[in-house]
Amino acid sequence: MRKLSLHTSIAAALALVGPMVACKGGTTPEIQTVAVTGITVAPSTLALTVGDPTVQLEVTVAPAEATNKSVTWESDDETVATVADGVVTAVAEGTTVIRATSIDGDFEGECAVTVTPAVIALTGIAFENDEENIGINLPPVTLALVFTPAEAANKSVTWESDDETIVTVEDGVVTAVAEGTTIIRATSVDGGHEAECTVNVIVGVEGVAMQPTTLQTVTGEAFRIDHRVRFTPENATNKNVTFRSSDETALTIAEPDSQGYVYATAHKMGNVTITVRTEDGGHEADMLVQVVR
């Protein structure tokens, strides 16, 4: 066997190591990056109501293979809606724009947001007056409702008369048909809440007069005045009246007695006016009283 010299062994070893060293000290391959060219936000418009659940917006980065797809989020008006990581929360009525901006290239995508107030449900209705008197010969009467809460969103109601031969009703306007009593019902569209009003159809007072229109009396003498009132029409239902004197130092009017009679008494000479006023309609008429002694 042939022996290798020391120099030959070293040379062989260097021949093997050389390529390895050259490879280790070579250039590292570059990593390729793909730039962002644009972004979009979906949906592009959004309608919310205060109190609604939050909504997640989706952002699409172009191209799909872009290296850095990170974005920042911002609301133009945080008093209307806020955004965090694309999650939108309605705050108050109004409009705003939610913007997404790419870290790479500052490209923007937008979503226009409209926020409406929270819908307040109706919890009850009632009539301002539980009972109303209306006249056959008088203009129609509008019944008024009270809604709870007052700020309820939907105040629509339907109307119904229990007996349309006595009264009819349309949009709360009640028209008398014949004398009698019936119930008007209102039902809310929101929640089906009901309210009732008793309606009495009467013959309304159209006018009043005093007969005679002039009367003479003497001081200290009481004279009856209630029977001197004349109503138009004569069959008016409500004939309640009040009287007043134009000068109570000259003539006083007593309260009705146990029979309902009303008396006046003169206290000094001169002319005094007695005025009658109807409870139904507030019609008035005068009678001149001449106190002769």
128-181 confidence digits (pLDDT tens) = 999 998 888 778 999 999 999 999 989 999 999 999 999 999 999 999 999 999
User: Which tokens go with 142?
Assistant: 């509008």
Whether residue 19 lies inside any domain: the answer is: no
Residue 2 lies in a domain: no
Q: Residue 257 sits in which domain range?
A: 207-291
> What CATH number is associated with residue 133?
2.60.40.1080
Tens of pLDDT, residues 243-284:
999 999 999 999 999 999 999 999 999 999 999 999 988 999
Segments in the chain forming alpha helices (H): 6-24
The edge-to-edge listing of strands for the beta sheet with 251-253 is: 222-224, 263-266, 251-253
Predicted structure pTM score: 0.52
Query: What are the structure tokens assigned to 270, written together?
Result: 């001169």
* Residue 14, pLDDT score: 45
Q: How far is CA 290 from CA 222, 285, 286, in A?
A: 14, 17, 13
Does 3 fall in a domain?
no
- Residues pairing with 169 in the sheet: 174
Within a domain: 17? no
Domain boundary among 84, 116, 148: 116
pLDDT tens figures, 193-228: 999 999 999 888 989 999 999 999 999 999 999 999
Boundary-marking domain end, from 153, 168, 202? 202
Q: Using CA of residue 10, residue 11, residue 14, residue 15, what is the dihedral sign?
A: negative
Please answer whether residues 240 and 279 qualify as being in contact, where contact means their C-beta atoms are separated by less than 8 angstroms: yes
What are the tens digits of pLDDT across the range 69-104? 999 999 999 999 999 999 999 999 999 999 999 999
Same structural domain for residues 79 and 148?
no
Name 200's bridge partners: 133, 181
- pLDDT, tens digit, for every residue of 7-37? 444 444 444 444 444 445 555 666 789 999 9
Q: Is the separation of the CB atoms in 105 and 35 below 8 Å?
A: yes
Look at the chain and report how many structural domains it folds into. Answer: 3
